[in-house]
A and B are shown apart, each in its own frame.
Chain A
Amino acid sequence: MEDENSPNGDSPVLVVVVNDPADLARAQREGWYRIPLARAPARVAAEWLAFYQTGAFPAGERWAVRWLAPVRGYRLATRRELIPAEPEHLRAGDLYYRVTLGPLEPVEPPILSRRLRRITFIPTTLARLREAGEINDLWIKSSAQERLWSAIKGAEIEAERQYPLRDDDLAEHALADFALFGPAGRVAIIVEDEPRDEVEVRETRAIDYLLVARDWLALRVTREQLGADPGGLLKRASALAGIQLVK
């Protein structure tokens, strides 16, 4: 019988992005990690932090989640208080969450990102972390999105989830819920609500034109459309990307 004090599969985990090996070393040595309050995600609270190591880490350690730590507290502090050795830093007065941690545990096997891509915070669960085969398995979205992701993986299509489409011209929040990469091009599946008015329709079209200029094809669907026929959506997206679906 499972120990009722053991963390359960639903325990929330926040995957944070570690751009500096010194931050991970500090987490291991001193038991805390900092998240700038101004850039904290909409969901910052969790029972565990997992650390995605970027290209700043040495070969063999980069582009993967390799460590996990239980959260003990979320305290607010200025950067100056957190890093007193840099009192004149440009952001010395900025507020951060100082997330106090228990001992770091290795994530076995590490959860890899197969493609060089921008990762931001990923809210997930302990169960999902333990079962993840790669980074894209960590996101938890609607059941319809999960079904589509399963179908994409089952078809062995090269794809990413929550893929940023950002560049200087695109809106900062332009994100593909699913990005498919095929011989005929790249397809961004964007799941959204119906546009509220003409202004939103025009803005959406403008973004889509920019995407086309950057060799993306946008396939916009509503949540209802996705839920009604994820298989049909996958066929359309695959056809646009030039991907032959194996029956």
Chain B
Amino acid sequence: MRLGFVAKSIARPELKSHDARRWQNNPHLSVSLAYLRDMLLYLAHSRIDMYRMSSDLAPYATHPDMPQFHKQVAECAAELAAMGELARSRDIRLSFHPGQHVVLNSPEPVLVAHSAADLTVLASILDAMGCRPEAVVVMHVGGIYEDRQRACERFVAAYRALPAAVRRRLSLENDDTRFGVVDTLWVHGETGVPLIFDNLHHRLNNPDGRSPQAALAACLATWPAGITPKIHFSSPRTELNIEPAPGRPTPLIRPPQWRNHADYVNPFEFIDFMRATSDLRPFDVMLEAKAKDLALLQLRRDLATYAPELAQEMSAAPHGGK
């Protein structure tokens, strides 16, 4: 089992995830790939073998008003291949998860076209890196737009219109408010897209009352043989929220919002979850925690302390698809 974290390193804040300069300062994918190289070396040194790259690796690559940035992926073929080789040599699984601006099921054709363009760039980056099929672009169904079934059908139609090379790289995740596992399973049934199970989202949005184990098993079964499935795991933030209250002598105290990620992963939740699903197909776990790599490193220590059998499984098992 691999554990991964998302984009930014908290342990090494000087390591950037991508070239974040504004367009006036000529950012470039090749600079992002140099940052990625530095990050991959850090990951290898820390024995971290899964990483979600920044979806802004190729800056402005699909910006309609900036054609000067549109050819970066083609321009950087050698650099992409080299970074792919570096990731493979260190056995690091990579992925992308574009932001909420990517909405394939929008009723607005322009937004759908932009979303498809973004997904195409990300898929082409993974292809140019020579990444194995396990390297996926994770996305959500999108918005409901007052009709859930029509929204799902629009996603399916837009998905089918994508080039095969892009569809091969996509995976679909249940979200915390709109489309639960029951919905992503329906989309899988229509498209074959593999599903990412998100444990926290499932707790928050479970329209058909499926147990976490059953939901996970159903999602794992959507992945082709020979490719290790991936899930997302997080703990909800439980701290109270203090809000300034202009005109009041004291701030407002509000309860936590469970959809917000905690800084770290509650190790006991994680251990219980892993033990409850130990008879299922093996999977990799992307940790979604605000402390990022610090959370991952802490969870590794916690597993060694509280669940040595799980810690052993992480260090000993060969990775699927290696």
Contact = CB atoms under 8 A, between A and B. Distances in A.
Given A12-B14, A73-B31, A45 B79 contact: no
A47 interface: yes
Contact of A140 (B14, B16, B28, B34): B14
Contact of A73 (B25, B28, B82): B28
Instruction: Tell me what chain B mostly uses at the interface: helix, strand, loop, or mixed.
Output: helix
Interface in A30-86: 42-45, 47, 70-76
Interface string A112-141: 000000000001000000000000000010
Contact of B34 (A97, A102, A123): A97
30 contacts: A4-B22, A5-B24, A7-B21, A7-B25, A12-B14, A12-B16, A42-B38, A42-B42, A43-B15, A43-B38, A45-B31, A45-B35, A47-B21, A47-B25, A71-B31, A72-B26, A72-B31, A73-B28, A74-B30, A74-B31, A74-B33, A75-B30, A75-B76, A75-B78, A75-B79, A76-B78, A76-B79, A76-B82, A97-B34, A140-B14
A47 B26 CA distance: 10
A74 B76 CA distance: 9
B242 interface: no
Given A72-B31, A74-B30, A76-B79, 14 more contacts: A12-B16, A42-B38, A43-B14, A43-B15, A44-B37, A45-B37, A70-B25, A70-B26, A74-B33, A74-B34, A74-B79, A76-B82, A97-B34, A123-B14
Contacts of B33: 74
A82 to B, nearest CB: 13
Of A5, A43, A47, A102, the most chain B CB neighbours within 10 A belong to A43
A48 to B, nearest CB: 11
Contacts of A140: 14
The 5 closest A-B pairs by CB, nearest first: A45-B34, A74-B34, A73-B30, A45-B35, A5-B24
B204 interface: no
A42 B41 CA distance: 7
Interface of A: 4-5, 7, 12, 42-45, 47, 70-76, 97, 102, 123, 140
A103 B74 CA distance: 26
Nearest to A37: B82
Contacts of A73: 28, 30-31
Interface in B7-36: 14-16, 19, 21-22, 24-26, 28, 30-31, 33-35
A72 B14 contact: no
A5 B30 contact: no
Q: How large is the interface on B (under 10, 10 to 19, 20 to 34, 35 or more residues)?
A: 20 to 34
Contacts of B25: 5, 7, 47, 70
Given A12-B14, A72-B26, A44 B34 contact: yes
A72 B79 CA distance: 14
Contacts of A70: 25-26
A103 to B, nearest CB: 12
Nearest to A11: B21
B224 to A, nearest CB: 33
Contacts of A76: 78-79, 82
A154 B78 CA distance: 49
Nearest to A102: B26
Contacts of A71: 31
Contacts of B82: 76
